[in-house]
Structure 1
Amino acid sequence: MYESGYYPAGAEFDPRAPWNEREPTMVECAACGGKGYHWYAYDFEADYETECSEETWNMLPETEEEAIAKRMHFIKGEKETCEVCDGEGEVEYEPDYDDYDED
């Protein structure tokens, strides 16, 4: 018999049941590696940007004059917020149901 009329017996408060509210499972964002940002180095001689790590970006000079003095051709480019995780570094885990075989 149903306890509340809507759920199977004993399942109304089952935390594993899909109809019960749970805290979302958060996982590291694969797009930004959990950092929340994407950093770009700008090559002012070739006029293009390339993505780099935060550590590399922090070591780059701010201006072209500083880079020329250090005999470099890269300067700090843009620091963009990750669009996938919106700068949080984590995204909600969503199971991929396409991996299951249909019999």
Structure 2
Amino acid sequence: MSKHRKSWSQAEIECILQHYQQHGISATVRHFNVASSMVYRWQSCKVEPKTEVKGGISRTEYHRLLRENQLLKELVAEKELEIRVKDALLKKTIHQNKSG
């Protein structure tokens, strides 16, 4: 097993993806000596490794922001749920006080 990682140029990635589409994953992995997970990642992302995303931020920063955004969405969802539960309990309490 190699002790260093291979860097693939955008042209090589496109060639590998084209080969993958024509010949399938097994033939592509054997022909280019590349991990199938990398081929699938390139296929899903279509982003060149070690480049910048449009807007001038690095790929790492972009993914960090995506994770942070997801965490914030979850936090907002939890708060919304708390508010709904409190509203439901308040309505129930008010209804009981009027009838009792």
TM over 0.5: no
Shorter-chain TM band: under 0.3
Structure number with the bigger relative contact order (C-alpha 8 A, sep ≥ 6) is 1
Q: Please report the TM-score for the alignment, with normalisation by the length of structure 2.
A: 0.26
Q: Please report the TM-score for the alignment, with normalisation by the length of structure 1.
A: 0.25
Higher strand content, 1 or 2: 1
Higher helix content, 1 or 2: 2
